Amino acid sequence: MKTFAELNFPGRLIAVEGLDGSGKSTQIYLLKRWLEAEGIKVYFSEWNSSELVKSATSKGKKRELLTPTTFSLIHATDFADRYERHLLPLLRAGYVVLCDRYIFTAFARDVTRGCPPEWVRGIYGFASQPDLTMFFKTDLEVSLNRILEGRPKLKFFEAGMDLRLSTDPYESFRIFQGRILEQYIAMTDEFKFVVLDANENVEKQQVIVRKLVSEQIDLKKFKRRSPLPLPPAIQPENKTHEIEGDLAAA
């Protein structure tokens, strides 16, 4: 797998990976806000967010109908749709693209659910490697506590209850996430993950994240023409026009 830089794309792609509750989503959100404040052309995409399959995925989860294979194929469809319609065009337009989870989530989860590793990797064979992948490694207890903060119970698939690992959702979560963690660790060297200690406080992690991004990506190449933020009332519409203009130019 080649990175987007190696493929001579004008843009760069940064991905974050980690267990549920690792804090990776918080870190990439803070990174996005910082890059925007610095006047960088940035676009954010998250796992399982394509409008094409979002409704079907939601219904399947609610009715607990998804088998490991259908789960894998639905997520692959979701990713392929976002990859072709959002990620690639914006990378060609010279954006820094931030992904909350990338194909490595499928490599870890689908294999843990019993799908053959070669098959899972095969269906994502069209995707290139991120220019920077940060893996937020956290203790299972820390992840569980963060997930349960503010809500009473774990979701069925989130806890891995479909695998019948345990009748207790909390124990099932520990086993399921522990196996996913093993998959991530096994991929670390192969895909050149930068491993971060997700047990640290948010502020300390964000300092490290910004330093990594600044060192590995020449951010001044991705500056907007007008870096000053616009008033909130007109920012969304104007931002849409900016992105459309960038895509047309690309």
Region 139-167 average pLDDT: 86
Q: Is residue 169 domain-resident?
A: yes
Tell me the per-residue pLDDT of 91-130, one tens digit each, with 9 for 90 and over. Answer: 999 999 999 999 999 999 999 999 999 999 999 999 999 9
Q: Is residue 51 domain-resident?
A: yes
Q: Is residue 48 domain-resident?
A: yes
Residue 234 has pLDDT above 50, yes or no: no
- Other CB atoms within 10 Å distance of the CB of residue 206: 18
Query: Can you give the residue range of the structural domain that contains 135?
Result: 12-249
Q: Is residue 2 domain-resident?
A: no
- Residue 245 has a pLDDT of 55
Residues of 149-172 as b/e, b for ≥16 C-beta within 10 angstroms? eeeeebeebbbbbbbebbeebeeb
- Residue 231 has a pLDDT of 46
d(CA 76, CA 71): 9
Longest dimension (CA), the chain: 56
d(CA 224, CA 246): 10
Region 161-184 average pLDDT: 93
d(CA 87, CA 44): 9
Q: Is residue 187 domain-resident?
A: yes
d(CA 126, CA 212): 27
Q: Is residue 23 domain-resident?
A: yes
Q: Is residue 5 domain-resident?
A: no
- Other CB atoms within 10 Å distance of the CB of residue 33: 12
d(CA 48, CA 54): 7
Give the count of domains, the chain.
1
- Residue 237 has a pLDDT of 44
| Cβ pair 67, 26 in contact under 8 A | no
- Residue 130 has a pLDDT of 98
Q: Which amino acid makes up residue 3? A: T
Tell me the per-residue pLDDT of 183-228, one tens digit each, with 9 for 90 and over. Answer: 999 999 999 999 999 999 999 999 999 999 999 999 999 998 765 4
**Which domain CATH number covers 120?**
3.40.50.300
End-to-end CA distance of the chain: 24
Tell me the per-residue pLDDT of 35-53, one tens digit each, with 9 for 90 and over. Answer: 999 999 999 999 988 887 7
Q: How confident is the model at residue 148 (pLDDT cuts 50, 70, 90)?
A: confident
Residue 250 has pLDDT above 70, yes or no: no
Q: Is residue 1 domain-resident?
A: no
